[in-house]
Structure 1
Amino acid sequence: MDFRLDQDQRDLVRGVRELLAGRFGREALRAAVDAGGSGDGDGSGDGRLDRGLWKELGDAGFFALRLPEERGGVGLGLPEAVLVFEEAGRALLPGPLVATHVAAGSVPGAAEGAVVVTEVSPEGLVPWLEAADVVLGAAEGAVPVRSVDPLTPLHRVPGTGEWAPETVLLTAAEQVGTAAWCTDAAVAYATRREQFGQVIGGFQAVKHLCAGMLVRTELARAAVHGAAVTADPVEIAGAKLLADEAAVANARDCLQVHGGMGFTWEADVHLHLKRAWVRAALVLPGDRAAEEVAAAL
């Protein structure tokens, strides 16, 4: 079996990356962070979501990607969806993207980006509750909780149920996007930052950090792509474990490569670390994913 991307898939990745770069580049990201951090001090932000961006994503087929063409969708499959969600993770695109995408076939308006859908997690967390038009699951009595990520407002409710495998896999794909962004950012910084008369990328310790980031990214990406082909729940749980590790560890190492500059609010590295933490806790946390893999051994 040939796991290399074909030309259509490469074109899809390039198109989505260009769309997000033009519509949600760094200036838009920082503006969203500033707006999200202007809440009432509980860490949850004000819950505002860019409805114009959401509609543009709908028009571009982001949410209807896997719907059949006869139902107005793009007619692609899960392997293509993970490519798209990796790009969303790389761009730190905010909002309940996975929930809206998964609900596109059952919730009217979700496929077109006219409706925002969120979901109550089995862990009892609800992202973007106040911005959502439709909430899947019981959210009565939800209370806001502090979120480390300024672009993911959270509420807590009693948690029940199980995650759908496709939700886990697409979240893992977002984690791969963060892992890849952190790798690229670390390498780019290491090739231009000079210390002691040479670029820091020439130092062995920095080389080792960047090499380790690349290995984690590619291992997680291979697991996610493989699970997208098989759609096996155990392989998906394993892919989520690897993707969480890659996203969190790469963000930490990216901070190390950037040094003191990386720990400032103005740098974007901390935003990827915070989003990786939230994704890891929100959807099939590591201990539950490990239990699913272990139970199948």
Structure 2
Amino acid sequence: MRFQLTDDQRALRDGVRELLARRFGREALRAAVDTPGRLDRALWRELGEAGFFALRLAEDDGGVGLGLPEAVLAFEEAGRVLLPGPLVATHLAAGTVSGAADGSVVVAGVDGGLVEWLDAADVVRGDTAGAVALRSVDPLTPLHRVGGGAVADFGPVRAVGPSASPQRVSEADAGDFVPLSSADTAGPPRLAVPGGPAPGRPATDPVAVLLTAAEQLGTATRACELAVQHARTREQFGQPIGAFQAVKHLCAQLLVRAEVARAAVYAAAVTADPADIAAARLLADEAAVRGARDCLQVHGGMGFTWESEVHLHLKRAWVRAQRGGGRTECEELLAAELTV
């Protein structure tokens, strides 16, 4: 079976890429890195106006009226440029949370899991009581960890406005996810909206899993591009390093993993089958994490420097891999499908 993008899908992909190139280029990325935790709300509203969050919302409800394949293309482009913010949660809230389609920032409470961008949220879906701020490996993705607890009571929760914080974040020791102080929980009440996962149930929506896979695919694609570009221009011993067999192999493996993941992600967007989505997520996580690591190998020590964007792709891939629907859950779902 041949699977190719339609002309309309290509136009959508190119339009999203053009918008992000204009509004979130290299300078904007560096500014976001230098001011961690700050969400560009002007960009967020522009994404809402462009229909990014309302792609799958029916036209009668004010949306664009497209499907899951088109959403996957948009999120792939967002992953490619490391666009920060709770993109998946806000996209899923369009149509059920007032203002989400237009650019209100929505985050979803996860029972016993990680919550991204809690401090910047206008609306919280689910329970975030007892959230503890973490020090994230990714400077573009502030994290909180939410413990267990009932999510049936959706009364006001103690939270923050756009510029305040429910936790006082202090310096912490090195580590991937280091709990920080949660002593300061003062702040105005914020609206809590039903929709979080029930206790004891997987905190995964198949669409959220697939859109995360699409973001990972964007990172895998960008890592391949950066590695090939560096291999062509960096010279050692009088020739480009891409002429050396070891570097050739790394670049080839980058491309293979990215294209295999692309086929799986695009196919899962068409079928929307949970098993297909699980397989796509596994392949996309691997393509993003291993691809970014191999891209660092191609760049050598230069890839680890703060000025380079390579290490940012690796760190974001690590954080995305921690979202619901990750490796263990997808493997268990596929195992259950195979043993039926």
**Normalising by structure 1, what TM-score?**
0.94
- Describe the shift of the 1:181–1:137 C-alpha distance in structure 2 as closer, same or farther (beyond 3 A): same
Ranges in structure 2 where 5+ consecutive residues have no aligned partner: 149-198
Q: Report matched runs for 1:84-123 at 5 Å.
A: 84-113=74-103, 115-123=104-112
1:289 to 330, 333, 337: 330
Distance 1:48 1:88 in 2: 17
User: 1 CA distance for matches of 2:335 and 2:60?
Assistant: 41
Q: In the alignment, which residue of structure 1 is the partner of 2:288? A: 247
1:111 alignment partner, SS class: helix
In structure 2, what is the equivalent of residue 42 of structure 1?
none
Report what 2:267 is aligned to.
226
Q: Tell me if structure 1 keeps the 8 A contact 2:111–2:127.
A: no
Kindly provide the CA deviation profile for residues 70-95 of structure 1, in whole angstroms up to 9, marking residues without a partner as x.
Answer: 11111110001000000000010000
Q: Which residue of 2 aligns with 1:147?
A: 136
Selected match of 1:180 from 203, 221, 230: 221
Q: What residue is the counterpart of 1:198 in the other structure?
A: 239
Instruction: Give the alignment partner of residue 128 of structure 1, picking from 117, 135, 138.
Output: 117
Confirm whether residue 156 of structure 1 aligns to residue 145 of structure 2: yes
SS in 2 for 1:145: strand
Contact 1:176/1:220 (CA < 8 Å) preserved in 2?
Answer: yes
Q: How high is the sequence identity, in percent, across the aligned residues?
A: 70
Contact kept in structure 1, 2:110 and 2:127, CA below 8 Å: no
Instruction: Supply the distance in 2 between the matched residues of 1:239 and 1:247 (Cα, whole angstroms).
Output: 12
- Picking from 24, 41, 45, the partner of 1:51 is 41
Q: 2:61 aligns with which of 51, 54, 71?
A: 71
Alignment of 1:252-271 (within 5 A): 252-271=293-312
How far residue 2 of structure 1 moved from its aligned partner, in angstroms, is: 3.8
Q: Which residue of 1 aligns with 2:210?
A: 169
Cα shift readout 1:89-133 (whole Å, capped 9, x = no counterpart): 0010000001000110100000011x1111123442111001011
Query: Which AA in structure 1 matches 2:109?
Result: V
The letter for the 1-side match of 2:133 is P
Secondary structure, counterpart of 1:266 in structure 2: coil
Q: What's the Cα RMSD here?
A: 1.0
CA radius of gyration, larger in: 2
Shift of 1:34: 0.4
Asked if 1:60 corresponds to 2:101, the answer is: no
Residue type of the partner of 2:58? P
Q: TM-score, normalised by structure 2?
A: 0.83
The alpha carbon displacement at 1:288 in A equals 1.4
Cα offset, 1:283, TM superposition: 2.7
Give the counterpart letter for 1:152 in structure 2: T
